[in-house]
Every structure is written in structure tokens, then in C-alpha cells.
């Protein structure tokens, strides 16, 4: 019996392009967990509050780190997932190109 390879689907694009709509639909169709940076950031704002633009940017970076953490946790157990974000290629590309256990 061969193990099924985990699947990482990345939904990215410009702001307000419909990424979350597509990712949510895909998650339902494929029965996969879906993690959106906007959703993670909303939870952080609700728990930690709003201060100013630099604070919002810091929470945005923390949200991105949490997305990669969730992806790594899923891959460690052989699970798949969908990530939704307007990924900045500079910090994100090296992480996507690394082996799945180090995303």
C-alpha cells in the first residue's frame, strides 16, 4: 500500500480578486481544510486589538507565519490543505520551494 502524497493548494492573486471565494469553494469540493490569512488576522485583531498601521502590519506578518505553521502541521500528519493569501513572492517563494516538512 502506498501512502497518499499530501496536497498543498495555493490560491493567490491581487486583493479583492476572489481568492477567498475560490478557495472556500475548492475546500468544499475537495473536502480539504482551508486557511485564509484574512481570517487568521481577524482572529488576532479580535484577541489583541487594533493600535496603528505598524501594528496591523505586524499582525499581518504573524498571520502569514501562522499559515505556514498550519501547513507544516498538516504535512507532518500527511494531511493536505488550501492556503489563501496575496502572497508576497519575496518572503513566500523560498518557503514554498523548501521541502514540505519545513514550510
pLDDT over 60 (residue 1) = no
**Is the per-residue pLDDT at 101 higher than 70?**
no
Structural domain containing residue 49: 21-102
Cell 507565519 locates to 65
Per residue in 46-85, pLDDT (tens digit) is 999 888 999 999 998 899 999 999 998 998 899 999 999 9
> Is 5 contained in some domain?
no
As for how many domains the chain has, the answer is 1
Helices (H), the chain: 19-30, 37-48, 53-76, 89-97
Give the whole-angstrom CA distance, residue 24 versus residue 82: 9
Q: Is residue 16 a part of any domain in this protein?
A: no
Determine, yes or no, domain membership for 10: no
Q: Is residue 40 part of a domain?
A: yes
Do the beta carbons of residue 27 and residue 33 sit within 8 Å? yes
Check which CATH number belongs to the domain holding 67 and give it: 3.40.50.300
Does residue 56 form part of some domain? yes
The answer to the question of residue 4 being in a domain is no
Global pTM value: 0.81
Q: Is residue 33 part of a domain?
A: yes
Contact 84, 36 (CB under 8 A): yes
Asked if residue 50 is part of any domain, the answer here is yes
| Residue 94 pLDDT grade (very low, low, confident, very high; cuts 50, 70, 90) | confident
pLDDT at position 49: 87
Amino acid at each position: 500500500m502506498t501512502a497518499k502524497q499530501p496536497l498543498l493548494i495555493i490560491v493567490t492573486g491581487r486583493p479583492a480578486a476572489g481568492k477567498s471565494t475560490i478557495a472556500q469553494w475548492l475546500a468544499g469540493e475537495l473536502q480539504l481544510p482551508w486557511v485564509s490569512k484574512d481570517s487568521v488576522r481577524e482572529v488576532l485583531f479580535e484577541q489583541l486589538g487594533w493600535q496603528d498601521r505598524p501594528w496591523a502590519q505586524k499582525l499581518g506578518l504573524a498571520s502569514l507565519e501562522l499559515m505556514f505553521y498550519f501547513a507544516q502541521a498538516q504535512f507532518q500528519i500527511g494531511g493536505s490543505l488550501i492556503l489563501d493569501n496575496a502572497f508576497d513572492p519575496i518572503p513566500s517563494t523560498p518557503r514554498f520551494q523548501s521541502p514540505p516538512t519545513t514550510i
